[in-house]
Amino acid sequence: MKALLIRDLRLAVRAGGGFGLGLAFFLIVVVLVPFGVGPEREVLSRIAPGILWVAALLAALLSLDRIFALDFEDGALPLLATSPLPLEGIALAKALAHWITTGLPLAVVAPVLGILLNMEGPTYGWMLVTLLVGTPALSMIGTFGAALTVGLRRGGLLLSLLVLPLYVPTLIFGAEAVRRGAEGLDGVTPLLLQGGITAGCVALLPFATAAALRVNLR
């Protein structure tokens, strides 16, 4: 599993489809928002948590179709399926590699880009924590969606349509936790709910992903 994780990390960095593309898209969205809504500091500060979370969610979508597609095209996926490592472990390793190359960089960069949206002091910490807690769920859900659409022509669009509705609860609780924390209210409750979603995804979706891969590899 460790060897597979290192291999996927190297492929993601070399191909530029995970790390660089996601961060570039994230930066472009955050930079363009003030041009669209105006330069008013109060407006930007109020919408900053939601904008950053939506931008992170969309940036995570960009590299989902590459999770299994490259291995399927070069014939490596059937070989992985027959390896001693179970498909559940393969799915978990793929999701972890996606999170390290996409979710983790987005979580680290988001508070820095929040300066462009005039985020207030307490908001930076909440934004970092919610993204660290929520982005693993995005990667795990995306891995499941990628397994469902692997081998399909133009599967990227179908993948987005399948995954986006499943992303909504993580988005809602993440943005709500940041908003409450910024206003001095209790943000722990939505954060715990978000953490519960992530824990459930990590516990259950590797098995669902493995089942989807078995069906598509028959």
Number of H helices, E strands in the chain: 10, 0
Tens-digit pLDDT profile for residues 107-150 = 999 888 888 888 877 888 999 999 999 999 999 999 999 998 88
**Integer Cα distance of 1 and 3 in angstroms:** 5
What average pLDDT does the chain have?
Answer: 86
What pLDDT shows up at residue 18? 55
21: tokens are: 């593309």
In the chain, domain spans: 2-216
Residue 128 near residue 188, CB atoms below 8 Å: no
What pLDDT shows up at residue 47? 87
pLDDT along the chain (218 residues), means of 10: 78 64 87 84 86 90 83 80 86 91 91 84 89 95 91 77 93 92 86 96 94 86
- Give the side-chain half-sphere CA count within 13 A for 216: 22
Cα–Cα–Cα angle for 115, 164, 13, nearest 5°? 65
pTM of the complete model: 0.90
Cα–Cα–Cα angle for 209, 71, 208, nearest 5°? 5
